[in-house]
Chain A
Amino acid sequence: MIEAPIDDVWRVLTEPEHIQRWFARECELDSQKGRLTFESGRTFYLHIVAFEPPHRFAYRWLHEQGTEARPDNSMLVEFSLRPEGGSTLLRVVESGFEHVDWSDGAKSEYFDDHSRGWHTLIDRLREYAKR
């Protein structure tokens, strides 16, 4: 639970000047596309899937530059915001890594088809590393 009105949370989530403080070193963003540059110097492009102020913000990323972002070649990050009195409930799901707001403590769950390849892969790598 964030002790701030939903509009404040939305701004922190979607305005480049804020994003530069919690996510990437450099950021450009509009309602359709975006660009993030990290400390490592790597730049990634975002394909915005949903931009519905102040309730929903979602993007696909990590796809190859110049290709269209699809479920099979990229990761989906989804933010959902819900007002609760004067506070805000924020939830983020990144391709199956689920993070719920602080009222439930930080917890992650694995679910949905898209993430299966990802987790199967982690399991397989782990198994291989044990050999």
Chain B
Amino acid sequence: MKVNEEALLEAVADNSRRQVLDLLLAHGAVTPTALAAELPFSRQAVAKHLAVLDRAGLVEGTRQGREVRYSVRPEHLDVAVRAMAKVAARWDARLDAIKRMAEASAEARRKRRTPS
């Protein structure tokens, strides 16, 4: 599975979504209505949060009769955990790029000022 890191970050950046995920981890498969009963926000808000978590690959919905039950996707969690841990490491590469660019631009200016 290919994890979209931005989608994953977006999914867990929000405290309410972390609460939803927490409940799913604790309860297993649950309907949005049951989740809303335990949370200080509406069923609509729960549904919206579930959609974002779904997009990030963290949860999935299974239709059972008239209702949809949501649960975490254990097969994706390991990948997700690793992707989250990678976020920190990603800054190393970005900082490296910033360093190279700033130094190249300072160097270019130095050369312009003192033509050899």
- CB of B50 to closest CB in A, whole Å: 14
Could you say which of A22, A42, A75, A97 has the most chain B C-beta atoms within 10 Å of its C-beta? A22
Known: A94-B87, A131-B74. A75 touches B9 (CB 8 A): yes
Question: Which residues of B sit under 8 angstroms from A117, Cβ to Cβ?
Answer: 15, 18
B25 close to A8 (CB less than 8 A): no
B18 close to A74 (CB less than 8 A): no
Number of interface residues of A (CB under 8 A): 45
Known: A92-B91, A125-B77. A3 touches B14 (CB 8 A): no
B99 close to A21 (CB less than 8 A): no
B102 close to A9 (CB less than 8 A): yes
Measured between alpha carbons, how far is A62 from B6 in the docked complex, in Å? 8
A:80-131 near B, CB below 8 Å: 88, 90, 92, 94-95, 97, 99, 101-102, 106, 108, 117-118, 121-122, 124-126, 128-129, 131
- CB of B22 to closest CB in A, whole Å: 7
Judged by DSSP, the binding face of B is helix
Closest to B101 in A: A12
Number of interface residues of B (CB under 8 A): 39
Select A124's contact among B22, B91, B109, beta carbons within 8 Å. Answer: B22
A:16-65 near B, CB below 8 Å: 18, 21-23, 38, 40, 42, 44, 62-64
A→B interface (CB under 8 Å)? 2-5, 8-9, 11-13, 18, 21-23, 38, 40, 42, 44, 62-64, 72-75, 88, 90, 92, 94-95, 97, 99, 101-102, 106, 108, 117-118, 121-122, 124-126, 128-129, 131
